[in-house]
């Protein structure tokens, strides 16, 4: 929960909940709406002032203008009118958007990309998508802009999007954990565990990590070549690895200016 004028937001209360999942996409969407309304009521009870508006962001293909979650491959919904559903039940104004683009907007107005006109915000989490900021505006492309995780880098493995060779299959934090487990037979909690193994010299972890860095570097080189951003801000779970990611990635992508955004910084909570 945030208060203050635009550009000067102050976090006054924070709660985290896992994303609810149900049997199908429509039921999951309904559970997400319920969860948002519960959370708003709980946060409203903690603050000195009542909740005046809701800002809600979701992953997948999002049509901000219509307020619709068009498609989420991970959560299974299609064409859910989130903004209308939330506004009707909460009786409040609702701003609705895409998680990564909202993160990019937060980095632009409050975070590491502040003062830039052209920037890329690249959170590397369960999936990989970028917020592309050009001329001081976050590009939406009707919900399809910035899907850098689904560029083909030639490894040939099939991806859930229907194409082959996608960056995301090798370089998302979920992929890093999955590929390490497949290679060694050892389950890990996530990419952070693989990063720890790299630091102590585990050769399997080094191979998996290097492949992820190489895939990300190709995607970043492509993006930098096309857009010429002044700043590239890295976020998400993999950015928690710090210099283990930024140093080799900056060198390979020829961007020594990569900025990891601190965990829990502007992106994600004040977006």
Binding site for Zn ion (CB under 5 A): 150, 159, 161, 163, 166
Q: Least distance from C-beta 165 to Zn ion, angstroms?
A: 8
Q: Least distance from C-beta 174 to Zn ion, angstroms?
A: 13
Comparison of 45 and 160: residue with beta carbon closer to Zn ion: 160
Comparison of 33 and 100: residue with beta carbon closer to Zn ion: 100
* Helix, strand or coil, per DSSP, at residue 39: helix
The 10 Å Cβ neighbour count of residue 26 is 14
C-alpha closest to that of 63 among 39, 96, 34? 96
- Which position has the token pair 């929960």? 1
Comparison of 32 and 71: residue with beta carbon closer to Zn ion: 71
* Helix, strand or coil, per DSSP, at residue 263: coil
In the numeric block, which tokens belong to residue 29? 């969407």
Contact by Cβ (8 Å): 269, 107: no
Comparison of 98 and 150: residue with beta carbon closer to Zn ion: 150
Q: Least distance from C-beta 24 to Zn ion, angstroms?
A: 23
Give, in degrees to the nearest 5, the angle at Cα 270 between 269 and 271. 95
Comparison of 1 and 171: residue with beta carbon closer to Zn ion: 171
Sheet holding 119-123, edge to edge: 137-138, 131-134, 119-123, 231-235, 259-260
In the numeric block, which tokens belong to residue 106? 């937060």
Q: Least distance from C-beta 171 to Zn ion, angstroms?
A: 11
Q: Least distance from C-beta 60 to Zn ion, angstroms?
A: 13
Radius of gyration of the chain (CA): 19
């Amino acid at each position: 929960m945030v208060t203050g004028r635009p550009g000067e937001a102050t976090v006054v209360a924070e709660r985290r909940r896992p994303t609810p999942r149900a049997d199908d996409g429509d039921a999951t969407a309904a559970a997400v709406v319920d969860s948002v309304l519960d959370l708003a009521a709980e946060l409203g009870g903690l603050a000195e002032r009542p909740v005046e508006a809701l800002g809600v962001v979701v992953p997948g293909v999002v049509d901000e203008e219509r307020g619709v979650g068009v498609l989420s491959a991970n959560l299974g919904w299609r064409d859910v009118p989130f903004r209308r559903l939330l506004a009707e039940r909460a009786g409040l104004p609702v701003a609705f958007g895409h998680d990564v683009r909202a993160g990019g907007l937060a980095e632009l107005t409050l975070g590491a990309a502040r003062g830039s006109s052209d920037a890329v915000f690249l959170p590397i989490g369960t999936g990989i998508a970028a917020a592309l900021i050009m001329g001081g505006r976050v590009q939406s492309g009707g919900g399809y802009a910035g899907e850098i995780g689904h560029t083909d880098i030639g490894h040939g493995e099939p991806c859930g999007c229907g194409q082959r060779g996608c960056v995301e299959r090798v370089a998302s934090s979920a992929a890093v954990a999955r590929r390490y487990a497949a290679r060694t037979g050892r389950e890990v909690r996530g990419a952070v565990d693989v990063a720890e193994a790299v630091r102590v010299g585990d050769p399997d972890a080094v191979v998996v990590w290097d492949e992820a860095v190489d895939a990300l570097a190709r995607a970043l080189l492509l993006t930098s070549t096309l857009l010429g951003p002044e700043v590239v801000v890295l976020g998400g779970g993999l950015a928690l690895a710090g210099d283990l990611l930024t140093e080799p990635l900056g060198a390979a992508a020829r961007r020594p200016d990569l900025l990891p955004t601190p965990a829990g910084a502007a992106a994600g909570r004040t977006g």
